[in-house]
Amino acid sequence: MAAHWWDGVLLGAVVGSALAVVTLAHESREVVQELERERARAARLDTEWRRLQIERAAWSDPATLQAVARERLPLRPPAPNQIRRWEVRR
């Protein structure tokens, strides 16, 4: 009868180990999927960072700023009768 008791303990250990293996394999797959999602997100952020660096470099160029200002803003030199001269007395 002692053998039957020991068989039950071993069977329980085997079933418990099998459940642990299945659970860990499932958790491992989830972690790998999360890692892949984060790597894809990092790649998207890196691409956006590079684009923003290029855009920042373009906006720091005075010629670009002047061209955009001329195109988008209705700024024109003032007419001669719109110019006022101010004298500063000291």
> Residue 68: left (phi > 0), alpha (psi -120 to 50), or beta?
alpha
User: Structure pTM?
Assistant: 0.56
pLDDT of 6: 85
pLDDT of 3: 67
pLDDT of 5: 81
Between CA 13 and CA 35 the distance in angstroms is: 32
The contacts of residue 40 (CB under 8 Å, 6+ apart) are none
Q: Name the packing angle between helices 2-59 and 62-72 (round to 10°).
A: 80
Tokens of 57: 């470099």
**SS3 for 89?**
coil
pLDDT of 76: 80
Give the count of beta carbons closer than 10 Å to the beta carbon of residue 60: 9
Q: What is the pLDDT along the chain (90 residues), one digit of tens a residue?
A: 556 888 888 999 999 999 999 999 999 999 999 999 999 999 999 999 999 999 999 889 998 888 888 888 887 888 999 888 888 887
